[in-house]
Amino acid sequence: MSAIRDLREWIEPRRAEMVDDLAAYVRQETPSDDKVLLASGLAWIEGWLDCRLGPPAARTTFEGGEWGDTVVLDYPSGTGSGSWITALCHYDTVWPAGTLSGWPPTVEGDRFSGPGAFDMKAGLVQLVWAIRASRALGLPVPNVRLVLNGDEELGSPSSRAVIEREVLRGDAVLVFEASAGGALKTARKGVGIFEVTVEGREAHAGLDPSTGVSAIDEIARVILRLHSQADQSKGTTVNVGLVNGGTRTNVTAGRAHAAVDVRVSSDDEVRRITEVLETLETRHPAATLTVEGEWNRPVMMRSPETGRLFAAAEAAAREIGIDLTEAFVGGASDGNFAAALGLPVLDGLGAVGDGAHARNEWVSIDGMLERTCLAGGLLAVLEGSPEAFLREPEAAANAGAR
């Protein structure tokens, strides 16, 4: 009977095929804001999945409205297993249509470069080849429910409800987002995106300055207050990344706007920053201030169940000679939604490389093969030891009641 350590021997000779698959996938431009290209890309993905894994036992499409659709595909183990793993893989990228014309998929030594390769197209390629390898070797594989969504880079406005519903039908969640320098991600910060708008009163800046109320002056004071709320010791960052206002240099600004990104590591900090946002006020009584936005990603805490899930990955890694580490990162993913529901979540199972959202985005091909082995080994460990990741009865009941 095959063992986890046999995965390397099966996968390594298929290096060129995996690189070809990744290149073909990267050539499908899937910008988050292009519904037509997203639909075309998703159709390609499903055709490729049918070719590599065979047709799914069940397929459900959820319309994304103005954003990309979400598709849920079920791949039963064939062994009668009662355990279900949910795999999250978004197919949208931050790269606009036409990026490929100046940046096609490129291989230089161990590095594969191309828009969206690191975040996160290589992750899906690794998962698919892990399942193929496990099937070929006769390794145990749990039932896998694959969720493909096309709006993750926008905060998953359409797919969030689908993800939250689907993960509750399973036992654990594996997220094939890129790794953190090779480390798996067992905790992530929560994210809030907010917009602050100030309405002032226009006047001639030179002839009638006393009657004007500067919205820019007010927004500047607000920005200073917001930035003062950052607390690195608690893992809280506050960044006003966009500011605009006014019409001309000789007109007192009648309107100003600031876009704010907040990252927090605990629910206590969510509450603290929420209170700050709710109590923002202008200095001048004639100016008005409004705050819009929301916490669009809850905090992903490292729960005991997630700890056991990481231990299962460590066990698989030892079998194939990998030293595995874990990390707490500032970025968020769809895994945050699952963790907030009480499920064990292991993130960062995707590419080893760097440059997410940057022109130097790249993937290690050696790392891609290694992480394919890891994914196959992890699936085998989980199918063989479901107690390693099943939720505690009380936690499962509470999550299912939400």
Residue 394 has pLDDT above 90, yes or no: no
What SS3 state is found at 265?
coil
DSSP state of 178: P
Whether residue 46 is found in the same domain as residue 160 = yes
Residue 351 has pLDDT above 60, yes or no: yes
Domain harbouring 264, CATH code: 3.30.70.360
Confidence of residue 386 (pLDDT cuts 50, 70, 90): low
Whether residue 130 is found in the same domain as residue 252 = no
Whether residue 200 is found in the same domain as residue 173 = no
Domain span including residue 293? 190-297
Cα–Cα distances in angstroms (integers) from residue 342 to residues 15, 50, 113, 167, 300, in the given order: 37, 32, 36, 10, 10
Final residue of a structural domain among 250, 268, 297: 297
Interatomic CA distance for residues 94 and 79, integer angstroms: 39
pLDDT for res 289: 98
pLDDT for res 398: 45
pLDDT for res 390: 53
Cα–Cα distances in angstroms (integers) from residue 164 to residues 48, 74, 161, 173, 336, in the given order: 26, 16, 5, 11, 10
Residue 252 has pLDDT above 50, yes or no: yes
Whether residue 37 is found in the same domain as residue 183 = yes
Domain harbouring 381, CATH code: 3.40.630.10
Final residue of a structural domain among 275, 297, 319: 297
Confidence of residue 109 (pLDDT cuts 50, 70, 90): very high
How big is the chain, counted in residues? 402
Cα–Cα distances in angstroms (integers) from residue 309 to residues 127, 168, 388, in the given order: 17, 17, 6
Three-class SS of 95-159: CCCCHHHCCCCEEECCEEECCCHHHHHHHHHHHHHHHHHHHHHCCCCCEEEEEEECCHHHCCCCC
Q: Which residue has the tokens 């006014």?
A: 246
Find out whether 131 and 51 touch, Cβ atoms under 8 Å.
no
pLDDT for res 388: 52
Q: Read off the pTM.
A: 0.90
pLDDT for res 3: 92
Interatomic CA distance for residues 189 and 167, integer angstroms: 20
Q: pLDDT digits over 255-296, tens only? A: 999 999 999 999 999 999 999 999 999 999 999 999 999 999
Residue 393 has pLDDT above 90, yes or no: no
What SS3 state is found at 350?
coil
DSSP state of 213: B
C-alpha triplet 166, 262, 296: angle, nearest 5°: 20
Average pLDDT, the chain: 94
Whether residue 145 is found in the same domain as residue 19 = yes
Whether residue 155 is found in the same domain as residue 304 = yes
Whether residue 16 is found in the same domain as residue 116 = yes
**Residue 263, H or E segment:** strand 255-264
Share of the chain above pLDDT 90, in %: 93
pLDDT for res 79: 77
Q: pLDDT digits over 299-317, tens only? A: 999 999 999 999 999 999 9
Other beta carbons less than 10 A from residue 315's beta carbon: 18
Q: pLDDT digits over 13-71, tens only? A: 999 999 999 999 999 999 999 999 999 999 999 999 999 999 999 999 999 999 999 99
Mean predicted confidence (pLDDT) in 119-137: 98
What is the signed CA dihedral for 309, 151, 23, 72, rounded to 10 degrees? 60
C-alpha triplet 297, 299, 305: angle, nearest 5°: 125
Residue 399 has pLDDT above 60, yes or no: no
Q: pLDDT digits over 310-338, tens only? A: 999 999 999 999 999 999 999 999 999 99
Whether residue 209 is found in the same domain as residue 75 = no
Whether residue 115 is found in the same domain as residue 167 = yes
pLDDT for res 136: 97
Final residue of a structural domain among 239, 272, 297: 297
Mean predicted confidence (pLDDT) in 226-244: 97
Whether residue 278 is found in the same domain as residue 320 = no
Whether residue 370 is found in the same domain as residue 318 = yes
Whether residue 58 is found in the same domain as residue 74 = yes
pLDDT for res 78: 79
Cα–Cα distances in angstroms (integers) from residue 292 to residues 8, 239, 259, 274, in the given order: 51, 16, 10, 12
Amino acid letter, 309 = L
Interatomic CA distance for residues 112 and 37, integer angstroms: 23
Burial of 250 (0-12, 13-18, 19+ CB in 10 A): exposed
Interatomic CA distance for residues 235 and 238, integer angstroms: 10
- Domain count within the chain: 2
pLDDT for res 81: 80
pLDDT for res 70: 98
pLDDT for res 391: 53
